Structure 1
């Protein structure tokens, strides 16, 4: 950049005390022309994104393949037409910026702020060496370099003298600052205008075309019957859905007939098993305590001709058969004389284990009345 500015400045250099503006304009125009490539690239990217969006939207028309293809063809063709017009407008904006370099822009630093006089020598008067060094450092930072001796110029050659000329370097630095200031203005303007141009000439215009003119183009392109032809997959899917609908309809009719002809009976009430739970919680009492009381004197058969009847053996601990457990029933009458049998018998609860088997016992012989033979009455004989 420095060499380019140096050669341009050397070619357009004219007499005068100010920096020539021709070098500034030549550099600025070349930099502006380089913006055409990025601007056109942005238009291409927007166009490609629009086409991708159209393809995504037309996928919803996959049921009608011909309609989908025709819609995509019409919209894509219109987008390409708007692309050409947008590119022409972008190039026109770049040419407008190149046609005139506005150095009076409010954001431009301007030549008036960069005017300097072509003094060859400066005289300094300082009291100490430190002040001299400080002034030299400040002048070097400002672009003022000390003059070289003739011996150094002879050794370095004419090319080095041209490249290290303090005046040329100062002017090149000035041109660089001016170019940077003006190009920042151009970049700001281009970044603002190019998106607006693309939005107006491409995106908004395509939206209006789809809303207002796409339907008319579809009607005028082909026969509407051919556009609305379904694909083979969609027709097969529709037939399957119709068959499924008929099958479900018949199934519902059969279920309805069964529901109306079936007679149902109410379920029986639940069984009350609270007593079983109570028996599980409380252990059963001993069977010996619930044994039915026995009489001291069991009834005997009256005397007859056959002899005395055998007495009923009383159960004892040496008896082979176990006692019969008492089952709940009506309470026996209490014996006379106020003697109680120890209170009413307790009702045993059913144990969880299997009940013991009841051994068979032959019942005792019941006592019989003596037979009395009476003589027949004579009246009865008559």
Structure 2
């Protein structure tokens, strides 16, 4: 037990040598308002005058007071004082101690009555004191006086809370007896941080100054304001005694006589007197230290481990200062950097981020997600209008009318579309370059980062190397697109070609025709809802008399009417043979060999397609162009206002179908039919060839980037670094450590020494 308080004193000395208080050490904190008698209590505990006195705030810095009980020595009978900031100087004159406190306070706090948080450490050794560690804080004030700062109340409050809020602090709350206890500022502060009162002891001062007929019995016995540690009453020297330099020993004797002769206080001697207060504080501090010392040891052990890890992060100090040692160290750091760069690309690095993609994984994402999405977003015909295509066809024909779709027009139109693949490809190159720069910035171990000039030079070399390689890579990608545009290979096995384009267009038209036919057939079938006889003939009459503004293919009408005839029976005994159909599905007139609506122009167009696309591409061009226009345009072909009577031979219906075909032929000239056909074919051919080129570009650009940029940089990184940095003339400059980093490392090393010393002190005490 005798070693516990000296142990804490040693710990305080050790921790405060580095200007930090990382450990919450057990200590007694004295709190009180101005003029509450706080300084007198401390001087009574020490047994001598040593604290500055005066009006206003006198204590403007925390004073850590270590009282050490030493054996009596005839040669040094009086107290001896020693400041932590003056370790080699011992004070025996307490007046000089007071002056030194004032000088040290003014040195940091100035002379304007402001306060600072940096404490003053004072150790007083004497045979007349009990071992204690006390912290004297500035008195609590509310109103600035004189040249005190306007926020003096806030400054004082923050400083007091900083000390009393620590769990290992015992709070000594000073309250004068001549002021109502409910107005005690010290007890109010203590209650906020210690609501249960488990670590607060109350001290009632100036008991001898209470009005006659009053006493502090109820307070001292805890009936007014209960505290777990209780209250102690003391009698201080008066201001007159202080100014007259009345010895404290004499004042303590008078205090004992006061309490011993008082009719009320003599019954509660265990709550009265400075001697009682010293014993109580000594026992409380010893018990507090004994309870918390194991946890302090654990905390210090954890701090040692953390600080060792932090110190290791700064890197080891240079083992040698000669040129050979520095050259070897430089070469090692260059090799480590180059290997780390390559490992980040290969995915074999020892440390990888789990928060985001980086290195090789990021390159893979750029190639297969960002670049692929950029290519897919390019629409090969979005920027081409029908007028653009027609103009290109006509320009490529010169002064002559073309006999077929010119191949020059196709090439003229497809080349700009291939050019649109270059921006996504170049963007892919740029993204890969940026990712390699990020990899370079993230590489470099802690040892290299100790040398800012070396790290900056390494990044400069990496940047130069990347810029050297990104230029040829971008040029190669540009050349790749130019190569694709230089020769349009219409014999590519994946190219759809002319016959394929016609077949594809016909399939689309057939699909649309079938959908429309089904819809129109359902509408026409609704007309056959009832039958009636007119002049002895069977007639189908519409339930809805008219169909207005509906575009109906004559072939659809033929099919629907034929279905009605089949289902309702053949009128007047007409057989199926009397209604032969053409291959295209249109009705033939009885006795006629050609379908309704056919013309010599349509026949001529069939020969044109046969001559250009071959036998495999033969189609009825007029029928396809008419269907395409009917499906895609906004033109509407009106239906007659009423379905005519269907005679026995179907003449009226055939006449209407013929009228529709004639009207369609009048609306669509042969030239317009051909323009629509050629536009659709050109779009199909451009889309097919563009997809071939896009597939090729998507495959070759990542390969080019890996070969010309990534692999070249990884293979040449170490050689370039050695070539640029491994020079005797600049080694000294490159290996100059960062002064800030050196200071941080030295501070970390000092803290590690402090923790180790503190751990050794605790081990000795335990």
Provide TM-score, normalisation by structure 2. Answer: 0.29
Work out which of the residue numbers 24, 39, 43 in structure 1 matches 2:425. Answer: 39
Counterpart among 701, 704, 724 of residue 194 in structure 1: 701
The change in CA–CA distance for 1:230 and 1:7 in structure 2 (over 3 A counts) is same
Q: 1 CA distance for matches of 2:662 and 2:409?
A: 26
Change in 2 beyond 3 A, CA 1:49/1:253: closer
2:468 counterpart of 1:81: yes
**CA distance in structure 1 between the partners assigned to 2:685 and 2:737 by the alignment:** 67
- Relative distance call for 1:221 and 1:33 in structure 2 (3 A) is farther
Unmatched tracts of structure 2, length 5 or more = 1-384, 504-581, 598-619, 632-660
Aligned positions of 1:242-257 closer than 5 A: 242-247=749-754, 250=757
Q: Which residue of 1 aligns with 2:409?
A: 23
Whether contact under 8 Å (1:144, 1:166) holds in the other structure is no
Question: Residues 128 and 150 (structure 1 numbering): CA distance in 2 closer, same or farther, change over 3 Å?
Answer: closer
Pairing 1:140–2:626 present: yes
2:587 maps to which residue? 126
Q: How is 1:114-263 mapped onto 2 (pairs within 5 angstroms)?
A: 114=501, 126-127=587-588, 140-141=626-627, 165-220=672-727, 223-247=730-754, 250=757
1-side partners of 2:498 and 2:728: how far apart?
A: 63
> Which whole-Å CA distance do the structure 2 matches of 1:147 and 1:59 have between them?
86
In the alignment, what sits opposite 2:396? 12
Deviation string 1:71-113 (CA, Å, 9 cap, x unpaired) is 1111011111111111110111011111111111111011344
- CA separation of 1:148/1:19 partners in 2, compared to 1, >3 Å: closer, same or farther? farther
Larger Rg: 1 or 2?
1
Q: 1:139 to 1:168 in 2, by over 3 A?
A: closer
- When residues 32 and 220 of structure 1 are mapped into structure 2, their CA distance, relative to the original with a 3 A threshold, is farther
In the TM superposition, what is the alpha-carbon distance from 1:220 to its structure 2 partner?
3.5
The correspondence for 2:439, drawn from 48, 53, 57, is 53
Between the aligned partners of 2:434 and 2:461, the Cα distance in structure 1 is: 15
Q: 1:4 to 1:148 in 2, by over 3 A?
A: farther
Shift of 1:67: 1.0
Deviates more, 1:144-153 or 1:54-63: 144-153
Deviation at 1:214, TM superposition (A): 2.0
Distance 2:725 2:753 in 1: 37
Match of 1:274 in 2: none
C-alpha displacement of 1:18:
3.5
Report the Cα offset of residue 211 of structure 1.
Answer: 3.9
Deviations 1:9-41 (A, max 9, x none): 112235665322111110111211222222222
Offset from partner CA, 1:299-338 (integer Å, 9 cap, x none)? xxxxxxxxxxxxxxxxxxxxxxxxxxxxxxxxxxxxxxxx
Cα distance 1:18–1:242, how it changes in 2: closer, same or farther (>3 A)? same
- How does 1:67-106 map onto structure 2 within 5 Å? 67-106=454-493
Which structure has the highest strand share of the two? 2
CA distance in 1, matches of 2:479, 2:683: 27
Task: Tell me the distance in 1 between the aligned counterparts of 2:493 and 2:420.
Answer: 24
Supply the distance in 2 between the matched residues of 1:91 and 1:251 (Cα, whole angstroms): 69
Distance 1:222 1:59, change over 3 A: farther
Alignment length, in residue pairs? 244
Q: Does 1:66 align with 2:450?
A: no
Go from structure 1 to structure 2 and tell me whether the alpha carbon gap of 1:126 and 1:230 turns closer, same or farther (over 3 Å shift): same
- Unpaired runs of at least 5, structure 1: 117-121, 154-160, 260-382
TM-score, with normalisation over the residues of structure 1? 0.54
Is the Cα contact below 8 Å between 2:396 and 2:409 reproduced in 1?
A: yes
- In 2 relative to 1, CA 208–149 (structure 1 residues): closer, same or farther, beyond 3 Å? closer
Change (3 A) 1:9 1:203: same
Q: 1:185 Cα shift?
A: 0.4
Using the TM superposition, give the Cα deviation of residue 253 of structure 1 relative to its aligned residue in structure 2, in angstroms.
Answer: 6.0
CA contact (8 A) 2:502 2:681 kept: no
SS at match of 2:492: coil
Which SS does the other structure have where 1:95 is aligned? helix
* Secondary structure at 2:405 match in 1: coil
Q: Judging changes above 3 Å, is the alpha-carbon distance between structure 1 residues 83 and 144 closer, same or farther for their aligned structure 2 residues?
A: same
CA contact (8 A) 2:625 2:673 kept: no
Partner of 1:3: 387
